[in-house]
């Protein structure tokens, strides 16, 4: 495959490297939170950053900024390499610049200290207008990237009408079609509700409508995070393992089912909210159960692809073939990033299914169980694929081989063990009733505090040990990354690196998974059915005016 447009190198480096700066803050704050909650350090360790301010940064930088920049960078690379099309540099710069400016505005608003609204920005928590405007600008930047790919894809289809769209392109276009659909409701929330309210143009806000619009976007957001990882699993992992993708049809079907089912199920985040009838929550619960199916299919398809690769490499036995996978092969250092992510995701998926059960959700909602679940998902496969593929894309765009493959291989293993311990600790304390968040200055493990809960000690200590290992893993990652960046500027060792896409073992030819059109139509119809009555019910309710609240002073309007 040919990399067609080297003029994209600079914006691509910006997309890959810029979000790693705020990520470093996000990682630091994650560690501090865990140690503080376990009573190992005092409030002073937050370095003057208030708990909710840091938590807002942790969520926004790690879960929104990093993931969006990565998805766009991965998308540019896939469209360039798999379709062999030159993306107009002008559009890439426009998109990248808006994303950088928007993210910087939001970051400044967070660090000004008056935007501690968390990544969910639920009213009546109110942020500085710059927080919301920055988010809008960044999202528009990501849209422009997607729009620049559409004419290239259509041109590619016209040139070769019978050809199958490459799997990586199916994956990345599905990701961005979902993104385009799901960002519309949150754009409405931001433009017509939160921004006028934060500017003081209107006095009141319908908090329940804002939450509903947020989750209309918010659950699809998790698939916007996940699907670039699935793109790597289907398009890169089988080849990396030394084999082939077990079923071409399964991959295409999985992405297209996600396209239909990712959005119309956000009410499963609002089971505890009054004001939305149970029957609509039940519809969303059913759709949530259905959206687990493409992940279950992925588990089987990818496991079969890995088994095929290992047996090809003389692996045998029921489980012994695992040993024949390239877990520590320096020339295939990316493998453990993807593989460890899959292992972690087994637990992320199982706990997601617990969350999705109406009754069991009542036990775990708003407890430490929920962050444990999402560190097994967005902090597992999603994050490890981002780390590994970022290193890969740096090589692709700068023509430098990875300089420290041995250290790079240690990163996913330390991360995986760390995230397992951290999340296990939070599962335990969550089931014991530990809340998901805590008030500023409150560690439940300070024996001198009135809030001291001795039963949560064991799990919280486990969480802290895990958080330390995760931080260590990130230190290793940043060493590898810094060394790689230095190599880019030392103008030597130029060596072409390309994305190596997997071949299918079974190359089924199923016509109804060839076009996006019918699936987009089905998605829009299903969203209309699942959301229209629920939103009408929320809109019809009388708005109870609420003053502004700040999380660091619960109960005290600001």
Query: Which tokens hold the place of 122?
Result: 């639920």
Residue 374 annotated in active site: yes
- Which residues, including other chains, have CB under 8 Å from residue 100's CB and lie 6 or more apart? 14, 18, 141
Residue 92 vs 434, nearer CB to ligand HAS? 434
Residue 219 annotated in active site: yes
Query: Which tokens hold the place of 216?
Result: 């209309």
Residue 427 vs 476, nearer CB to ligand HAS? 427
- Which residues, including other chains, have CB under 8 Å from residue 485's CB and lie 6 or more apart? 17, 394
Q: Smallest distance from the beta carbon of 266 to ligand HAS, in angstroms?
A: 10
User: Would you give the end-to-end CA distance of the chain in angstroms?
Assistant: 58
- The active-site residue, picked from 311, 312, 327, 437, is 437
Q: Smallest distance from the beta carbon of 332 to ligand HAS, in angstroms?
A: 16
Q: Is 504 in the site for ligand HAS (CB under 6 A)?
A: no
Q: Smallest distance from the beta carbon of 325 to ligand HAS, in angstroms?
A: 9
Q: Which residue has 């840091």 as its token pair? A: 54
Structure-derived torsion over alpha carbons of residues 369, 349, 167, 217, reported in degrees to the nearest 10: -40
Quote the CA–CA distance of 173 and 252 in Å, as a whole number.
12
- The active-site residue, picked from 436, 461, 483, 548, is 436
Q: Smallest distance from the beta carbon of 295 to ligand HAS, in angstroms?
A: 3
141-200: contacts with ligand HAS (CB under 6 A): none
Question: Which of 222, 250, 254, 530 forms a contact with ligand HAS (CB under 6 A)?
Answer: 222
Question: Which of 291, 340, 422, 550 forms a contact with ligand HAS (CB under 6 A)?
Answer: 291
> Helix or strand or coil: residue 506?
strand
Residue 223 annotated in active site: yes
Q: Which residue has 């790919």 as its token pair? A: 149
Q: Which segment (123-131, 172-180, 284-292, 534-542) binds ligand HAS by CB under 6 A?
A: 284-292
- Which residues, including other chains, have CB under 8 Å from residue 541's CB and lie 6 or more apart? 206, 208, 275
Residue 436 annotated in active site: yes
319-378: contacts with ligand HAS (CB under 6 A): 342-343, 345-346, 349, 352-353, 355-356, 361, 365, 370, 373-374, 377-378
- Which residues, including other chains, have CB under 8 Å from residue 68's CB and lie 6 or more apart? 99, 138, 139, 142, 224
Spatial contact of 72 and 143, defined as CB atoms under 8 Å apart: no
The partner residues of 494 in beta bridges, in order of sequence, read 400
Q: Smallest distance from the beta carbon of 361 to ligand HAS, in angstroms?
A: 5
- The active-site residue, picked from 216, 246, 374, 476, is 374
Element (H or E) spanning 504, and its range?
strand 504-506
Q: Which of the residues are catalytic?
A: 219, 223, 373-375, 436-437
Name the residues that contact ligand HAS, by CB under 6 A: 120, 222, 225-226, 268-269, 288, 291-292, 295-296, 298-299, 302-303, 306, 342-343, 345-346, 349, 352-353, 355-356, 361, 365, 370, 373-374, 377-378, 382
């Amino acid at each position: 495959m040919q990399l067609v447009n080297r003029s994209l190198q600079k914006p691509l480096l910006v997309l890959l490297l810029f979000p790693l700066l705020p990520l470093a803050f996000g990682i630091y704050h994650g560690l501090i939170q865990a140690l503080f909650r376990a009573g190992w350090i005092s409030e002073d360790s937050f370095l003057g950053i208030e708990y909710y301010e840091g938590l807002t940064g942790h969520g926004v930088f790690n879960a929104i900024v990093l993931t969006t920049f990565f998805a766009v960078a991965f998308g540019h690379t896939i469209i360039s390499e798999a379709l062999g099309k030159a993306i107009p540099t002008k559009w890439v710069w426009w998109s990248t610049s808006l994303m950088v400016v928007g993210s910087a505005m939001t970051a400044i608003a967070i660090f000004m200290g008056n935007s501690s609204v968390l990544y969910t920005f639920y009213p009546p928590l109110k942020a500085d207008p710059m927080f919301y405007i920055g988010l809008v600008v960044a999202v528009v930047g990501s849209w422009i990237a997607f729009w620049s790919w559409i004419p290239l894809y259509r041109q590619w289809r016209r040139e070769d009408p019978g050809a199958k769209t490459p799997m990586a392109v199916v994956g990345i276009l599905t990701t961005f079609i979902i993104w385009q659909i799901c960002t519309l409701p949150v754009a409405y929330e931001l433009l017509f509700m939160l921004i006028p309210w934060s500017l003081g143009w209107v006095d009141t806000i319908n908090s329940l409508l804002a939450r509903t619009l947020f989750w209309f976007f918010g659950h699809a957001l998790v698939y916007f995070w996940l699907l670039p990882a699935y793109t790597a699993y289907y398009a890169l992992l089988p080849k990396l393992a030394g084999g082939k993708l077990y079923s071409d049809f399964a991959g295409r079907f999985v992405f297209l089912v996600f396209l239909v089912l990712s959005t119309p199920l956000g009410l499963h985040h609002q089971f505890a909210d009054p004001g939305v009838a149970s029957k609509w929550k039940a519809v969303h619960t059913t759709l949530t159960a259905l959206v687990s199916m493409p992940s279950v299919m992925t588990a089987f398809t990818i496991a079969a692809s890995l088994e095929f690769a290992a047996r090809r490499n003389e692996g045998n036995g029921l489980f012994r073939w695992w040993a024949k996978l390239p877990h520590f092969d320096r020339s295939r250092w990316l493998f453990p990033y993807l593989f460890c992510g899959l292992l972690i995701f087994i637990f992320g998926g199982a706990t997601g299914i617990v969350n999705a059960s109406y009754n069991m959700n009542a036990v775990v909602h708003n407890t430490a169980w929920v962050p444990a679940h999402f560190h097994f998902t967005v902090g597992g496969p999603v994050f490890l694929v981002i780390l590994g593929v970022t290193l890969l894309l740096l090589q692709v765009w700068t023509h430098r081989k990875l300089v420290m493959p041995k250290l790079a291989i240690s990163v996913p293993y330390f991360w995986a063990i760390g995230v397992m311990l951290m999340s296990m600790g939070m599962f335990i304390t969550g089931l014991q009733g530990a809340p998901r968040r805590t008030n500023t200055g409150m560690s439940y493990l300070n024996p001198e505090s009135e809030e001291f809960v001795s039963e949560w000690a064991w799990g919280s200590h486990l969480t802290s040990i895990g958080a330390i290992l995760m931080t260590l893993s990130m230190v290793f990652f940043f060493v590898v990354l810094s060394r790689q960046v230095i190599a880019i500027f030392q103008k030597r060792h130029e060596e072409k690196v390309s994305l190596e896409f997997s071949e299918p073992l079974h190359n089924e030819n199923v016509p109804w998974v060839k076009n996006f059109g019918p699936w987009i139509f089905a998605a829009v119809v299903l969203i209309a059915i699942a959301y229209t009555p629920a939103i009408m019910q929320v809109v019809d309710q009388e708005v109870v005016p609420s003053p502004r609240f700040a999380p660091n002073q619960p109960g005290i309007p600001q």
